[in-house]
Each structure stands twice: as structure tokens, then as C-alpha cells.
């Protein structure tokens, strides 16, 4: 885990991304999605650094997917630091962020509250 990369504007975990050797995160200018990212454009327009700083319950852009939406909601409830702690602990337990492409253990959920509980415990 590259904790210093933290969490993307949309809630994705840059710190665990398998592409972080070439990316560097939302604000680096090296993100492969930099030109089309709806969440980056919106947060810049609102003058905020992350979607979790916004009071709206938004599902646009990458927030339409359960993982970034749940991570954003988790941070709103608990904090980015606690999310990073949980992700780090889960990684030590063998929870995988990316497996064969961009899908991993956090992607196999249909219910956001179940995913939030999984983030906290690393257990299904």
C-alpha cells in the first residue's frame, strides 16, 4: 500500500491501485482519466478536494459504482484516515483491491452497507 497516494477525489483508493506506478493520483496530472473524469471536474468547480467534502448524495461519474460510492460514504461517516487504516489492515489480511484487472474483493457487493461493514472488518 502506498498510503501517501491516499484516496482519489471520487473515493477510489489510489493507495492500492495497481496502476499507481504510472499514475500518481488525481492531482498529479498523470492520471490516465484526467481529461474526462466527471468527479474531478465537478470537485474543482465546487472548490473542494474530494467528493466526500460535498454535502450532496451524488452518484454521478465514478460514484455510480458501488466501490467509490461506498468509500466516499465511509469517509463522510468516519474519516479518510480511518478508511486508510482499514484498507491497510485488510490488505494485511489478504483482501485484494485489484485482481485480474480492476476488480477485486471490494467489487463483489450489491449493497453499500454490506461493503462498508466489509471495509471495517475485512470479513464477509
Give pLDDT tens digits for 46-86: 999 999 999 999 999 999 999 999 999 999 999 999 999 99
Alpha helices in the chain (DSSP H): 38-46, 66-77, 80-93, 112-121
Q: Give pLDDT, residue 35.
A: 78
Name the one residue in this structure whose C-alpha cell is 471490494: 106
DSSP 54: S
How much is the pTM? 0.91
Interacting residues of 123 by C-beta distance below 8 A, sequence separation 6+: none
pLDDT tens column, 12-59: 998 888 766 677 777 777 777 777 899 999 999 999 999 999 999 999
In the 8-state DSSP scheme, what is residue 51? G
Residue 97 pLDDT level (bands cut at 50, 70, 90): very high
Q: What is the pLDDT of residue 20?
A: 63
Confidence (pLDDT) at 100: 74
Query: Between the CA of residue 51 and those of 30, 55, 109, what are the distances in Å?
Result: 19, 9, 21
Question: CB-based contacts of 91: which residues, under 8 Å, 6+ apart?
Answer: 1, 16, 97
Given a contact cutoff of 8 angstroms between Cβ atoms, the answer to whether 97 and 16 are in contact is yes
Amino acid at each position: 500500500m502506498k498510503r501517501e497516494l491516499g484516496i482519489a477525489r471520487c473515493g477510489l483508493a489510489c493507495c492500492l491501485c495497481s496502476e499507481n506506478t504510472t499514475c500518481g493520483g488525481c492531482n498529479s496530472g498523470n492520471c490516465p482519466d484526467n481529461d474526462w473524469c466527471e468527479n474531478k471536474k465537478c470537485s474543482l468547480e465546487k472548490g473542494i478536494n474530494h467528493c466526500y467534502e460535498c454535502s450532496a448524495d451524488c452518484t454521478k461519474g465514478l460514484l455510480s459504482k458501488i466501490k467509490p460510492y461506498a468509500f466516499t460514504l465511509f469517509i463522510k461517516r468516519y474519516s479518510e484516515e480511518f478508511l486508510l487504516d482499514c484498507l491497510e489492515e485488510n490488505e494485511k489480511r489478504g483482501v485484494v483491491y485489484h485482481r485480474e484487472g480492476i476488480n477485486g474483493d471490494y467489487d463483489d457487493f450489491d449493497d453499500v452497507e454490506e461493503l462498508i461493514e466489509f471495509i471495517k472488518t475485512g470479513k464477509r
